Amino acid sequence: MRHSAISLISVALCFLVISAAFASYYGQVFQPSPLLNSNMKFWTFDPATNSTEPYLWQIDVIKNPADNVSVYRTVVANRSGVALWVYRSNENGSSVFTTVHLRQDLHGQALDTAFNSTISLWVFPTFSYWYDLRYKNPENVFGIEINDGVNLVWYVFADDQSQVFQFPHHRIVVIQTPLHVWSYRTINIAHEYAEAGWKKPESLSFILILGTTNIYPGNWVSYFSGLSVQTALQRTQTLSTIDFEILVTCNAILMAILFTAGIAIWRRDLK
């Protein structure tokens, strides 16, 4: 009898603990990062381009025939990272910009998380940001592009003073960053969308970008490392009063069943 009572009590306590944990933790969801393989540790071979690229990342290239681009892993100043390299030839081509993009597309839950989080990374720029002094149009870039198909945000990491250039569908946020050293930087996509007065999009591309124009030909390279998204434990919903009452009722029924079973065992043992 004593053993049966201990069993019944332990099972009842187990249910109570799990139920209490359920009521307490319900709705607390840890949002997974919208960016996967964020540190680009894992590279796979893409037979279509006959090259390796970071798993889950897409490499896009805009260039003229005489230009060249590359994305590769490397170690710079004792930190491993990914290098974006562009060679722009002196020849005039159809493309004004020669750029290399490293892209992940976000939508749904991932997009929501990206908008509710800050994104941090280490950057190692090696050249200044140049733009047309009259129209403020960019002439090179190293940074992050947020592209929703209509609007563009560029976070540019360079040694210029921090400033913002706002165009109708293009917002350029220059974040002052010293050249030739690693610097830790954070960005907030939702903040820039709000500042630009743009609506939150249905989907967007998160892009690491390096590019130059025919005004600045030659070799250009810079580096990224330690990309991470600071997601938080979010309480998305709580149990409604009805749900809570159902949970309590279920536990009460269970306790009643266990109590009845206990009495039945006790009476059986008495016989």
Partner 1 sequence: MRLSFIFAAGFILSEGLQNWIRGDIETHPEVVLLLLITYALAFALFILATMDSEGILRVRELALLSLVLTIIVSWYVITQVEHPGSYQTDALAFAHYSAILFSKGINPYTQDLDSALTMFSVNPQFITLTPTGDLVSTLNYPALQFLVLLPIVWFQLHDARIMVYAAELLSLLVIYYWTPREVRSLVLIPLFAGSDLVINFTAGSVTDFLWVLPLILMVVWFDRPWLAGIMFGLSCATKQTPWLLAPFLLVWFVRDGESHLRIVTRLRNVSTFAASSIAAFVIPNAWFMWLNFSAWYTGVVTPAFGNLVVLSQGFSLITLALGVPLPPEFYLISTVAVGVTLLVNYYVHFEKVRLTLWAFPAIMLWFSYRGLQNYFVFWMPLLVMSAVMFYRKRFVNAA
* Stretch 146-205 residues interacting with partner 1 (CB under 8 A): none
Q: How far is the CB of 117 from partner 1 (least distance, A)?
A: 10
Least CB distance to partner 1 at residue 131 (A): 32
**Binding segment (CB under 8 A) for partner 1, from list 40-48, 155-163, 241-249, 253-261:** 40-48
Considering only residues 1, 21, 194, 256, which one is a binding residue for partner 1 as defined by CB under 8 A? 21
Token representation of residue 148: 């929703």
- Binding flag, residue 43, partner 1 (CB under 8 A): yes
Minimum separation from the CB atom of position 119 to partner 1 (A): 10
Residue 32, beta-bridge partner list: none
Q: How far is the CB of 229 from partner 1 (least distance, A)?
A: 6
CA 171 vs. chain centroid, Å, equals 20
Closest approach of partner 1 to the CB of residue 85, in Å? 20
Look at the chain and count its residues: 271
- Binding status of residue 265 toward partner 1 by CB under 8 A: no
Burial class (CB in 10 A: 0-12, 13-18, 19+), 207: buried
In the range 220-259, which residues lie near partner 1 by CB under 8 A? Answer: 228-229, 231, 233, 236-237
Question: Shortest distance, CB of residue 263 to partner 1, whole angstroms?
Answer: 19
Start-to-end Cα distance in the chain: 12
Helix axes 189-196 and 108-115, enclosed angle (nearest 10): 80
Q: Quick check: 35 binds partner 1 (CB under 8 A)?
A: yes
Write the Ramachandran bin of 8: left for phi over 0, alpha for psi from -120 to 50, otherwise beta. alpha
Helix, strand, coil tally for the chain in percent (to 5): 25, 40, 30
What CA–CA distance (Å, rounded) separates 126 from 22? 52
CB 74 within 8 A of CB 221: no
Using CB under 8 A as the binding rule, the residues of this chain from 44 to 73 that contact partner 1 are 44, 55-56
Q: Does 77 bind partner 1 (CB under 8 A)?
A: no
212 lines the binding site for partner 1 (CB under 8 A):
no
Question: From the CB of residue 208, how many other CB atoms can be counted at a distance below 10 Å?
Answer: 25
- Which stretch, 1-9, 149-157, 175-183, 190-198, contacts partner 1 (CB under 8 A)? 1-9
Residues that bind partner 1 (CB under 8 A): 3, 6-7, 10-11, 13-14, 17-18, 21-22, 25-39, 41-44, 55-56, 80, 228-229, 231, 233, 236-237
